[in-house]
Chains A and B, each alone.
Chain A
């Protein structure tokens, strides 16, 4: 009890010094908390965007499809395969969506561009895909919206990206054709479509080389019956991925299918997230070093300046252990107060960014791209309490460790020498 009182009294006696140290710790800790939240929130947004832009968390295809994505490697009978997969997958899956992909030539008037075509089921897609989202559509409407109001005699609908629309010089309602090599035969198949929507995702390869149309129209054009290229799984929680893969393992093997995780389907995105996380970890190390160095500096300075005082204490019968405890407690109180206030401040900032979000365009004046994915303009802070707690505990532990050196030196002081030297 005496040690605590002495430590607090010592700290309060040098308010300016203690206050400055606490302020440094508060500031760094608050910034650290805030950045940690924003960085994790940003990663989640990147993954979410990547997954929404047509990947899916887990993508099931015919064996060998990833190496050779051709029409000869399709999953036979899409609807039936989807039923089977859904049943085994369980309730953690938000959606399983069938897709048919092939390359084709899109033509409008004299302009022609080679593109990737994705045949989708708009009703399923609308809950998971970024392109099917009406917010991505800058002109016209989504496939799902169009199919809800069928018109007699109209061409099948099609949506494409903003850059592609510019390259083809097309407007809503225009007639465009797709030409593909169907699965059978050496000739070409061609069909006309009506452009009903133009989307903007910010992803170059989608905006410039991507065309989406209803699955049945795509299947008819490619002459593949009810077959699909892939069935994409969307999860509510990305952490469900590993268990899902395990559950599906047996079925996939039996059917000759294989599954690809989003990390493998979009390695650039995965490494962008990993790189950013590594940068954040480095920043944290620097911050911790700064905090600990600040505390060490304060403790050493105060210990050196008080050799005479300590000498008197020892001479009056104070034990060396008491001195050690007083010095250590001073450091702990400094660190504790600083960390608590810093966490409070950082928590407030986190709360703000978690509810309001951070608007990147406002802050940086431009949108950010990472791993080929355009980050959403506004994203939300996400804090992992475990991670934050670990960092806090680490700072406290390091403070104790670095303070023990000046503390132990104080304990070993010779009272007469100490009083004499610092007369």
Chain B
């Protein structure tokens, strides 16, 4: 479980060359009917999944939780570092005051939680995984394996249409169907992934629908990316909305207030000591 290669299906050199040439020479409209290999699809999804994390990132975001019985809002500082084999994430709550200082740290597969009131670090056990993260529609489990869409599924490109994105740029909307590989440890029957492809290689995620069973017509969860705005000179979706479709009106929305890539974090920034 620990190994998380950057490219799970490393394309053969020839394929890679073909793609490089293809992308360089063949115009976008001509590619529409050309078969696209699994490796390429996997790379696109991988790229889309990482678009807000880069190799390392620091972000300040506002998380807004809308439930039928309550509403909440948190300000979060999220640091991520994927430069090593073990990916690291540190989430620290900046507000509201009641929650300030609470932190969740994930190094590899290990998740620990710090509560400043008791000054204790708890390492998460398997039973706690089931909890929703701070009452949001993201679970601790989502937190733990956010990139396995690229690893545990097989892909099928279903649709490829030209359209314009929020910034009115010409893009291709790709609709991919992801089905779990035979023995993959995933609990979804099907995932529908939509992404925008610009100039043949710049990928932005658009919407991810999670279906309970392969044959279901209605998704149970839907994650939408919106509000494109330039970060480091490159437009990125700064709003994530996770909708629980089985509970109408419930959602969790994340808005990035600041985002900075390629920070040089030290190893200590992601230690349990750093939680305190």
Residues of A within 8 A of B (CB): 103-105, 107-110, 112-114, 153, 155, 169, 171, 174-177, 179-181, 185-192
Q: Give the chain B neighbours of A171 by CB distance below 8 A.
A: 213
When C-beta atoms are compared, the residue in chain B nearest to A113 turns out to be B130
Identity of the chain A residue whose Cβ is nearest the Cβ of B221 in the assembled complex? A110
Quote the shortest CB–CB distance from A302 to chain B (angstroms): 74
**A112 and B141 contact, Cβ closer than 8 Å, known pairs A177-B187, A187-B2, A191-B185:** yes
Checking B144, B212, B244 against A108 with a beta-carbon cut-off of 8 angstroms, the contacting residue is B212
14 examples of A-B residue contacts, CB within 8 angstroms: A104-B126, A105-B130, A107-B141, A114-B128, A169-B212, A174-B212, A176-B187, A177-B187, A179-B141, A185-B109, A186-B108, A186-B110, A191-B183, A192-B183
B180 to chain A, nearest CB (A): 7
Chain A positions within 8 Å of B2 at CB level = 187
Q: Which A residues lie within 8 Å of B1 (CB)? A: 187-190
| Per-residue contact bits, chain B 170-200, to A (CB 8 Å; 1 contact, 0 not) | 0000000000101111111100000000000
Q: Contact partner of A180 among B108, B126, B186, CB < 8 A?
A: B126
Chain B residues whose C-beta falls within 8 Å of the C-beta of A103 in the assembled complex:
125-127
Q: How far is the CA of A188 from the CA of B1 in the complex (A)?
A: 8
Count B-side interface residues using an 8 Å CB cutoff: 31
Which A-chain residue is minimally distant from B139 (CB atoms)?
A112
**Of all chain A residues, which has the CB nearest B184?**
A192
Instruction: Map CB proximity to A onto B126-159 as digits: 1 under 8 Å, 0 otherwise.
Output: 1111100000000101001000000000000000
Q: Please determine whether B185 and A192 come into contact, CB atoms closer than 8 angstroms.
A: yes
Find A109's partner among B109, B182, B185, B188 (CB 8 Å cutoff). Answer: B188
Residues of A contacting B189 with CB < 8 Å?
Answer: 109, 174-175
Contact in complex: A186, B123 (CB < 8 Å) = yes
Kindly state the separation between the CA atoms of A353 and B210 in the bound complex, as whole angstroms.
Answer: 55
Whether B187 and A175, one on each chain, are in contact in the complex, defined by CB atoms closer than 8 angstroms, is yes
Asked if A112 and B246 sit within 8 Å, CB to CB, the answer is no
CA–CA, A52 and B164, complex, Å: 64
Contact B129 A179 (CB under 8 A): yes
Contact present for B129 and A192 (CB under 8 Å): no
Q: Does B271 contact A (CB under 8 A)?
A: no
Q: Kindly report which residue of chain B lies nearest to residue A186, judged by CB atoms.
A: B110
List of B residues within 8 angstroms of A113 by Cβ = 130
Chain A residues with Cβ below 8 Å from B126 are 103-105, 114, 179-181, 188
Q: Determine the distance from Cα of A189 to Cα of B185 in the docked complex, in whole angstroms.
A: 9
Q: A105 with B220: in contact, given A187-B109, A188-B144 (CB under 8 Å)?
A: no
Beta-carbon nearest neighbor of B211 in chain A: A109
